[in-house]
Amino acid sequence: MSTTARRVHYPYEQYVALEEESAIRHEYLDGEIYAMAGGSPDHAALAATVIRLLGSRPPGCRAFTSGLRIRIAASGLSTYPDVAVVCGRTARAVDDPLAVTNPVLLVEITSHSTEEYDRGEKRRHYGQIPSLREVLIVSHREPYLTLHRRDVTDWITFEARRGQAVVLEAVAARLAVDDVYGNDLEDIAT
């Protein structure tokens, strides 16, 4: 006799209840709950540096840490980007008062286990957020930034390495690769 693994479909309310009680964060998509990978010290340092460099510009915008849950109504994904910026008041998800739906900038710091997902499927989910203007991907492998900016009809990609910078139009900021990575990180490969 053979048995087939049965996938459990969790209602969103059950996910929200789990997040209130859990010490670790989870993503939610299509009724499935996924534990998120923990970060390394360099991963945390890169996220903190990006937040510090963004500061509070432009006025009326706020940067949030990975503790902020983002809900993407169009795709059903709920997740925790490494950095999120919201300009103006936060708009909350109808089905989740702790999830925000209106970021203008999202930042992902890649890791060995998340790089493909961050650069591919997750970025495609992010592209379905109407307010989102830019997605910045910070590499864990080398000093390398990838900026995806929403254009009138599509997304445009910009890349920057040591000695170069990206301009974040959504928040009127310029991030130099050398400033993001600095000399204080022990090892870029997190």
DSSP-derived 3-state class of residue 130: coil
Does the residue 104 lie in any domain? yes
Q: What are phi and psi of 139, to 5 degrees?
A: -75, 140
Does the residue 31 lie in any domain? no
Q: Please tell me the distance from the alpha carbon of residue 176 to that of residue 110, in angstroms, as a whole number.
A: 18
Does the residue 2 lie in any domain? no
Does the residue 9 lie in any domain? no
Does the residue 177 lie in any domain? yes
Does the residue 127 lie in any domain? yes
What's the CATH number where 70 sits? 3.90.1570.10
Classify burial at 88, counting beta carbons within 10 Å of its beta carbon; exposed 0-12, middle 13-18, buried 19 or more: exposed
Show pLDDT as tens, one digit a residue, over the chain (190 residues). Answer: 445 555 678 999 999 999 999 999 999 999 999 998 778 899 999 999 999 999 877 899 999 999 999 999 999 999 999 999 999 999 999 999 999 999 999 999 999 988 999 999 999 999 999 999 999 999 999 999 999 999 999 999 999 999 999 999 999 999 999 999 996 554 554 4
Q: Please tell me the distance from the alpha carbon of residue 16 to that of residue 6, in angstroms, as a whole number.
A: 22
Our count of domains for the chain comes to 1
Does the residue 70 lie in any domain? yes
Asked if the bond preceding 58 is cis, omega within 30° of 0, the reply is: yes
Does the residue 77 lie in any domain? yes
Q: Containing domain of residue 147, as a range?
A: 39-181
